[in-house]
Structure 1
Amino acid sequence: MSNSRIIPPSELIINEDGSAFHIHLLPDQLRDNIILVGDPGRVDMVASYFDEIDYDVCSREFHAIGGVYKGKKLMCISHGIGPDNIEIVITELDALANIDFNTRKVKPEHRTLNMVRVGTSGSLQYDLKIGDFVIAEKGTGFDGILNFYAARDKVCDLEFEKEFCKHVSWDPTWAAPYTVDADAELVARIGRDDMVRGYTIAAVGFYAPQGRMVRLELKDPELNAKIESFRYNGRPITNFEMESACLQGMAKLLGHKAMTVCCIIAQRRAEDANTDYKPSVKRLVETVLDRF
């Protein structure tokens, strides 16, 4: 895209106070290091560790707090549930970094953001237990969002996608899956022996897309079993969540670094779940803050 293009107001909406439309942040409130969480309330928990707080902004499901932790400037922002929300957040964070809101042109110098999503997840393998931490070394999106962007093939693992669709007999009426690696430098920085490096499914919904049946029947009741038996280079799909693939895909397309690490709160194969998972999530947040 040409840096001389003026982005019209219909394409990038800027609020009257000069903030990004959905997340309501101003350009000078952006931090290079960003922790993302789904729950707006979890932002307060993350920020409770900050030594200083510079701002606290709420808009819809998007809650952001910027501050300082052990001398490091950073921010935490919530993205709500689902990949569609992640697309909004990453696009607007990038706009704050790389678009001049006065001229509506792309800035000549690219600013790179480091983004770590801290979430919760359900395991798909018996050896992953409740309380384990799993990094989405690969995120496979069932939502199809990245397929709307021209350069998606440049950032996706096309061979993984091909083998996965073949193995599970992917229904052509569903959005084509896309698979994106987490940023290797971030994974090396955050991941240690206390974290599993896995292949993660980012589902487009919580119920049927993750094989849950409440009152409505599933189109393919065997999909989860086929996912669990899939192997790529000898490695299995480890867990389900909803946002890793879109986050990692959008970040790569826009020239940023991103990864997802989740705390396992449900064992899908053992049909077990833990609703008292907050202590484990707090431990994960503390770990990420110290390594970020």
Structure 2
Amino acid sequence: METKISEADLIINQDGSIYHLNLFPEDLASTVITVGDPDRVSEVSKYFDSIELKKGKREFITHTGYLDKKRITVISTGIGTDNIDIVFNELDALVNIDFEKRVVKKELTSLDIIRIGTSGTIQPDIPMDTILASTFGLGLDSLMQYYIHELSGDEHGILDAFKSHFSHIKGITPYLTAASNILLNTIGSDMEHGITITAPGFYAPQGRQVRAKNAIPDFINLLNNFQHSNNRITNLEMETAGIYALAKTLGHKALSVNAILANRVNFEFSKNPGAVVDRAIKMVLEKIIKQK
């Protein structure tokens, strides 16, 4: 017997749209680009040949359209993995839940989800304005403590090594998930690769200090010195690990593409951040339309 999902667990608006995103199942393409900043949605969709849908609710702005016969949805998530929890569960519900019957569909759909975001590198040899694809997302937030999350052998090895590296720091319960190999080898080809740290904040959780004192001294050097086999940590941001972990848990493919705007070791910031983000957008769109 099919298990019916309660109205409290899956909230559907009176018009039949999903609660936060305000979308109907037919509004969503099978290729989804996520961006943090709502203003960046139009910076992506301006390259579409046509736009069939524009919707917005709170920080969640959605455009769906076509580029060279490829249907694409671009949606803003806002900042942080708490928002990723909302967006990814609702994207999944749109394609894998029968809203009328409130049951999981017998045939599941796997979305291709590509994040285009900004980030800072912690490696001195990664040039400013680099476009980097995350091989793994390593989360320092608490999101995946609330989900059953299965690890592969490679993920186990890197995560165990990271826990050992940080064993003297209390209160950190990291999780780690790999990118989709398919998207990494297509969308992420010809890009710099590395492990991306997802922090639960922008200031002290990323080693910045303004007035409040940091509880973990020399945080950037600790991350910078981590190495496991050929894997090293390359950059810091606030969504990738949650995207990778929830995508894997829900059966979707995900890749995070990072415009490197800051070098935390060399204390530099990009002179033209908008141009770097625009280059990342165009690279991703060009690779999407080349996919079979």
**TM-score of the aligned structures, taking structure 1 as reference length:** 0.95
Partner-residue secondary structure (3-state), 2:284: helix
Q: How does 1:1-292 map to 2 (within 5 A)?
A: 4-153=2-151, 157-169=155-167, 171-174=169-172, 176-193=173-190, 195-274=191-270, 276-292=272-288
What is the CA–CA distance in structure 1 between the aligned matches of 2:279 and 2:176, rounded to whole Å?
A: 28
Any unmatched runs of 5+ in structure 2? Answer: none
**TM-score of the aligned structures, taking structure 2 as reference length:** 0.95
Q: Which amino acid aligns with 2:270?
A: N
Q: Which amino acid aligns with 1:82?
A: G
Q: Which amino acid aligns with 2:165?
A: H
What is the CA–CA distance in structure 1 between the aligned matches of 2:77 and 2:272, rounded to whole Å?
A: 22
What is the CA–CA distance in structure 1 between the aligned matches of 2:13 and 2:111, rounded to whole Å?
A: 22
Residues 146, 152 of structure 1: 8 Å contact kept? no
Q: Which amino acid aligns with 2:222?
A: K
Partner-residue secondary structure (3-state), 1:214: coil
Any unmatched runs of 5+ in structure 1? Answer: none
- What is the number of equivalent residue pairs in this alignment? 288
Q: Which amino acid aligns with 1:163?
A: A
Q: Which amino acid aligns with 1:30?
A: L
Q: Which amino acid aligns with 2:282?
A: E
Partner-residue secondary structure (3-state), 1:40: coil
- Structure 2 vs 1, CA of residues 152 and 172 (structure 1 numbering), >3 Å: closer, same or farther? farther
What is the CA–CA distance in structure 2 between the aligned matches of 1:65 and 1:112, rounded to whole Å?
A: 20
1:152 positional shift: 4.0
What is the CA–CA distance in structure 2 between the aligned matches of 1:10 and 1:224, rounded to whole Å?
A: 42
Deviations, residues 194-219 of structure 1 (Å, cap 9, x unaligned): x1011110111101110001111111
Residues 199, 238 of structure 1: 8 Å contact kept? yes
1:171 positional shift: 2.9
Q: Percent identity?
A: 39
